[in-house]
A and B are shown apart, each in its own frame.
Chain A
Amino acid sequence: QAGLTQPPSVSKGLRQTATVTCIGNNNDVGNEGAAWLQQHQGHPPKLLSYRDNNRPSGISERFSASRSGNTASLTITGLQPEDEADYYCSAWDSSLSAVVFGEGTKLTVL
């Protein structure tokens, strides 16, 4: 099953801006866009955005998503210690009729 490509790790300083990328193809990210999930150790994932840059109620404006072609990006501004977590992108693959996930990116806030 094909997956989405994410960097294994990203490190940024407190109050800085971090960007996590997610590379897919025309059938998944390039088709219906991506969703982004945040997962703290020992907890279930939490939806941050869907269909590129739609934020569910209660999600901070510090989290914003975008897409350019087959690459989706999650940008977190004003990094806080609580932002340290794993971040996953996901998308619907229309050719596989399947949900695909990225391998996850561990964000460290220095």
Chain B
Amino acid sequence: QITLKESGPTVVKPTETLTLTCTFSGFSLSTGGMGVGWIRQPPGKALEWLGNIYWDDDKRYSPSLRSRLTITKDTSRNQVVLTMTNVDPVDTATYYCAHRPPTGLFDFWGQGILVSVSS
């Protein structure tokens, strides 16, 4: 059974760097075709894709946020880390990580973590 869980700070100050960790089980990121994605959802708003990391360490980022995002993986620890620099109150959202299978899009999602950006 595939499970994912996001962890990290729930409050960050403007201009700080946000670091979130996705810890998963039930699959390996060293398996061909596998990936993990990050998606966020501001309160009351739609889903917004942030980026993916793949089994071969290839990465894809949202064009509008690329300059602020970094996604890395630790295959041995079954973890994926999202780093977002220079956060702003508009970055307040629930952040999800999700399993991306070889078939394409996200089939298993974490419960999400609500991150508030406030001074």
- A residues near B (Cβ < 8 Å) are 1, 3, 32, 35, 37, 44-47, 50-51, 54, 56, 88, 90-92, 96-104
Interface of B: prevailing SS: loop
Supply 16 further A-B pairs (C-beta < 8 A) apart from A88-B46, A101-B49: A35-B106, A44-B110, A45-B96, A47-B106, A50-B103, A50-B104, A51-B103, A90-B47, A90-B105, A90-B106, A91-B105, A97-B60, A98-B49, A98-B60, A100-B49, A101-B48
Interface of B toward A, CB cutoff 8 Å: 37, 39, 46-49, 52, 60-64, 96, 103-112
A34 to chain B, nearest CB (A): 9
Which residues on the A side are within 8 Å of B105 (C-beta)?
35, 47, 50, 90-92, 99
The 21 listed contacts between A and B (C-beta, < 8 Å) are A1-B62, A1-B64, A35-B106, A44-B96, A44-B112, A45-B96, A46-B109, A47-B106, A50-B107, A88-B47, A90-B47, A90-B106, A97-B60, A99-B39, A99-B49, A101-B39, A101-B47, A101-B48, A103-B46, A104-B46, A104-B47
